[in-house]
Each structure stands twice: as C-alpha cells, then as structure tokens.
Amino acid sequence: MCGILAVFGCVDCSQAKRARILELSSRLRHRGPDWSGLHSEEDCYLAHQRLAIVDPASGDQPLYNEDKSIIVTVNGEIYNHKELREQLKSHKFNTGSDCEVIAHLYEEHGEDFVHMLDGMFSFVLLDTRNKSYIAARDAIGITPLYIGWGLDGSVWFASEMKALSDDCEQFMSFLPGHIYSSKNGGLRRWYNPPWWSELVPSTPYDPLVLRNAFEKAVIKRLMTDVPFGVLLSGGLDSSLVAAVASRHLVDSEAYCQWGSQLHTFCIGLKGSPDLVAAREVADYLGTRHHEFYFTVQEGIDALEEVIYHIETYDVTTIRASTPMFLMSRKIKSLGVKMVLSGEGSDEIFGGYLYFHKAPNKEEFHEETCRKIKALHLYDCLRANKSTSAWGLEARVPFLDKEFINVAMSIDPKWKMIDRDNGRIEKWVLRNAFDDDEKPYLPKHILYRQKEQFSDGVGYSWIDGLRDHANKQVTDSMLANANFVYPENTPATKEAYYYRKIFEKFFPKNAARLTVPGGPSVACSTAKAVEWDASWSKNLDPSGRAALGVHAAAYEDAK
C-alpha cells in the first residue's frame, strides 16, 4: 500500500503551500515508507508516499506518460498490468511499475478505462493539456480514499482522512466503484456487475468453477518483488488462501526467490482458538509458521494508536483491528512487506452465523449484497489500515472481481444453511475444496465453524476491552451520551470510550459522519433481529450474538 494526496484549485500557490502539502503528505508516510514524491503544476499538487512492492528500483511516483502531460499517483496493485501493456505497445514505459499503465490507458481511452483494471486501487490523475483531473476507487473499496473540499474552492483527495481533515471544510469517504471527473463535476459509478441490482441469480452451483476462480484469484496476487506471506488464523478462509498459495509456489520462481517455505502468521492470546487451529493448518501445509502473542493489556495500551490509524469508532472494527495492528508490526520486523488475507468470504457466502436464520434465498442474497457493499466501511478498512500502519500491504483474493462475479451468480439456494442436509455456513466454498484424492485441508479444518477474528484471538480479549471501558466511562456519561454525541450516539460504555478517543484525533462533524452509525448498523445483526426477534436483546456486535448457533461454549472459555 501507498499513501496519496492530491489537491486541485488552490488559491494559494506559494512555497508555503507546497510545504504544507508536503507536511500533510508526511502524515501518510506509514503507508509508504520507501520513498516520497510530489508534482506541482500551478494550482495543483499530487503527492505520493511509496511502499515498493513491484519494481522497487524504478517505480517511484507520481508516474507520467511519455511527454509528462499526464501525471498519476496511485495506491494499490494492478494485477493484469502485463496484459494491459501488450495492448499499449505503441507507448513507451519508463518503469516496471504495474501502475504506469493507468497513464497510458487514459491517453488511449479517456476516462472510460477504469473497468479494464484488475486489482485494488485508488488513484488521482491530472491531464495538464486541459487542466482536468479524475479520481477513482476500486470496485469494492479495498484501498481507502477520501474526498474533501476547501473554503477556497479546492478539491482534495487522500488515502486517509488525517491528511485532509484539518484543511478541508467538508470531506467524506470516496465511494467504491466510482470515478470523479472534474469535467462532469461529480461522482459516477463505473462498476456495475449483475449482482449489484440484487436480482436473485439462478446459475447452478458448479464446485469446480468456483474452485478454479478462487485459485486464479490467489495466484494473481502473488505478483511481487518483495518477501511475502499469508495471514493464517486457522479458519476456513485464511486456510484456503494458504493452501492454494502453498500449492502454487512449489514450482514458481517466487518459491525459489524467498526461501523453501511459504511463511504464515497468526496472533492471539496464549491458548487462543486461532493459535491452535493455525498451527495445525501450518503443519499440514508445511509452511514456515510464525506465532505472535499479545496480552489484553498490550492491546488496551495500543487502542489510541489503533483508532488514529484506522479512523473509525466502530466497535467490531476496533476489536479486530487491534490484534491485526500488533501482528503487522511483528511481520514487518521480519522483513515481509506483503501478505494475503481472507477478508470478504463471509459477506459473499453468508458466513456470519445469523445467516442461519435467513427465511428464504431471496433475503439471503439481498443480505450478502448489502454486506459486500458495506465492506469498505468495515473489513476492508480494517485489513488495509491495520497493516498499512506499519508499511505492510494486505491483498484479499476473495474480493477479486472475477471471483465475486462467479460466486455471486450462484443460485443462493445453494448458499442457504441446511443442517438437516449437512450444509453449514459457506458450504458451497467448503465443498468446492473437498478433494479426497488431493486434499487441500484436513476435513475438520475445512468444516470448522465460523469464528469472529476478535473472538478467535482469545475469548477474554473482548471481555478485557469491556472491563477497561467500564472503568473509563461512568453511568452518568453513558446516560447523557445523546447530548455529547447526538450523531451516532454510542449505546454502550465500550462504544463511548472508543468515540472519545476518535473525537480527540478527528473532532470535525464530517469525520464522525464517515463512520456508519445507529444501533442497527453498528450491531451488524439488524437483519438477524428481523429474522429472529429474540436476537434484539443482544447488542454485542461479535459472534457471541449468535447464541444457539455457535458451537463454542463461551462461558466455559472465559
């Protein structure tokens, strides 16, 4: 991951303004510690903080076309850049960077080229020939991007809110799958897959088609010139990522380049479910496995830093981000700069335990669509910012465009949980990789039940956070929360505590409105309550809300 900052239409074009842009861009240096760049053009600035993953030697940004009339700053990876270069043979490339194709595609196709990109990306492009500019974000919002407006009429774009929140009067999260054009003066959607309309699909389930699509998604994300690994919790999703990557690397150049084994990483409180399961999977796959431990107190001590980096006060996100943040620091200390992770599977396949209560396939499908559309506010935000805080890039094969199209075209009757017929959550995915002749994973791992990441690192983690928050927030403070925080009023002491920290770093109303709010959204089980009213009594947004569904005995585990 990299950090980008772009400003257009500044009234002040002085040396002091340039210094200010550099200062604000430096707030993103954690995302790109390898190099910094800045292009200024009259009242326009494009700044970049680089994390060098592909072509570390010559891929510094901003990037240019041949005559430098097109300038682009990019955060992300373009996995099909080699294929795109074949279509751009008339152009001269100055670097081996996967992102340079963006400048040349714009030359060839104008603004209507974004759908050709296969990858995760946020970029800003300036066309000096007519003083126009565009900005775009990937289909699902894997990479973060914000847009803001200054009092002087300037328009700002940044990878993280902290780079523009002080200088913009208003700002918001840039919508995934959208492009902003200065010519048209607004956002428009470029990503319009069939499933987006939420019409119920009818394609029959073919396990081999699903398996092949996922294997392709993993393999294309092994594009790297630096050491890499896999985040392995021992659950289904991360285990499948590790299994596919491990198989592919046996005969690849990357396998020889970075050692004799795939590296895998896991974190948890000592004795946590994830540590045990991840070790078993790593032993089965023969990976070089790294276990990291943290204590509840170490997690609590990191909370302020975590919230500053992830820029949200959502309870579930903070709970899960903290161990991921701590793990990322350890991974970076080993010299690793890129990891694969398993985010997105639960949204696509209805893996959350409340999907057990879905009354029919229509509502099941609609809820998966809603969850995918909100990923940029939750799991994508967590995975990207928790790792980028330490200059580590996370890639997410389940959110591959082609894989999503395959998975979301399956008739949702196959995704429905049917215990009587042995179909637990995500059965279609488990079954696709259930190969007796050449097993990807042991059966009991392949059919291991869903575990929230914040629970899997150790059940006492959530309890420790609650206990700490209860000591910091009084009953009176919570009773008057609606007066102190009228927007997205916190409903629990834990939520109130996180909100206090967030407001210290981001006090503007625009900042707090970038976080989705309201009990139904924060709980993430609004649909579950609709499907089963008894769940309305449990406001906790973790997997524990699925009482009667999850097999683990939480009380015994405390």
Structural tokens at position 432: 């696709």
Q: Which two tokens stand for residue 322?
A: 């903290």
28 labelled as ligand-binding? no
CA–CA distance, 399 with 116 (Å, rounded to integer): 16
Task: Look at the chain and count its residues.
Answer: 558
Gyration radius of the chain's alpha carbons: 23
Task: Estimate to the nearest angstrom the gap between the alpha carbon of 489 and the chain centroid.
Answer: 25
| Cis before 516 (ω within 30) | no
Distance CA 466, CA 436 (A): 44
Question: 3-state SS of the chain: helix, strand, coil percent to 5?
Answer: 45, 15, 40
24 is in an annotated binding site: no
Q: CA-CA distance, 308 to 501, in Å (whole number)? A: 8
The answer to whether 434 is annotated as binding is no
Going by C-beta distance under 8 Å and a sequence separation of 6 or more, which residues neighbour residue 24? 5, 47, 158, 163, 164, 166, 167
> Is 342 flagged in the annotation as binding?
yes
Query: CA-to-CA distance for 317 and 307, rounded, in angstroms?
Result: 10
CA–CA dist 554, 558 (Å, integer): 7
Q: How far apart are CA 295 and CA 106, in angstroms?
A: 50
**Residues noted as catalytic:** 2
Check whether 341 is labelled as a binding-site residue: yes
Task: Give Dmax (Cα) for the chain.
Answer: 71
Q: Does a cis peptide bond (omega within 30 degrees of 0) precede residue 176?
A: no
Rounded CA gap, 339 and 241, in Å? 11
- For tokens 């809300």, name the residue: 545
264 within 8 A of 289, measured Cβ to Cβ: yes
**Residues flagged as binding site for L-glutamine:** 98
**Residues flagged as binding site for ATP:** 231, 267, 341-342
